[in-house]
Amino acid sequence: MLLNDYMIENFPNLNLRPPLFYNWEIAIRFELGVEWNREYNYDLSPYVKGGYKRVVTLFESLHSQDEEIFVVVEVNDFGDGKTYKHKARIFSPYVYDKSLLYKLKHTEMPYIFPEDDEAGRYKTHRFTLKCKASDIKHIPLLKAVCNQDLGIQPSIFHRIYFLNVKRKTIFHVYDDRGCDLLATSPETIRGIYKKYNDWILDYDRNEVDKVFK
């Protein structure tokens, strides 16, 4: 199964772009970093460690090691002369078996945020790797996504989505503040909703609760 087939079958009419939570009925928005303080922008501060712990816990609760997933990375291309021929570089530090990188799929698309591209000059490069969850070094990858706005290295500024083939879920960490979880049925993620209820972002809690009532 290819990514497009997966999306059409399970998430019809959903555009894979943030904010996912507000564009799909069955969704949870979790808070990762809690009680941010300007002084906490350093490696292994209480804020950073707390966010890491939450995101890794959620990922491991959602993806069994032997389950097939799509890892989708989207790269902005603002037409500034940079090319993306070296697509393997994005994935290379985060896969155990480098031969997997031969399976990488690349799609060049119109810019994913057309409202910010009136001249139509920008593009989005989407790189997709279908593999097992155990093939990915998920802990350093998730940490790098969380680090993007904290000035901590390594960091990843690209959008990354994890789509579980069997469970029919989409998991997207947007930065150190939070992440979105989408599903095709409330029952698929009801256990996550109950177990990590305290982590649901209070701002969106009423909308989330309606899905599971």
- With tokens 């990488």, the residue in question is 104
CA distance 62 to 54: 12
Q: Is the pLDDT of residue 130 over 70?
A: yes
- Domain ranges in the chain are 3-9+36-172
Tokens of 89: 């570089």
Q: Which of 151, 158, 11 is nearest to 74 (CA)?
A: 158
Angle between helical axes of 46-62 and 138-146 (0-180°, round to 10): 130
Which two three-digit tokens encode residue 98? Answer: 């480098």
Q: pLDDT exceeding 70 applies to what percent of the chain?
A: 92
Rounded Cα gap, residues 181 and 36, in angstroms: 22
Q: Tell me: pLDDT of 69 over 80.
A: yes
Q: What is the pLDDT of residues 149-205, one digit of tens each?
A: 888 899 998 999 999 999 999 999 999 899 999 999 999 999 999 999 999 999 999
For residue 19, say if its preceding peptide bond is cis, omega within 30 degrees of 0.
yes
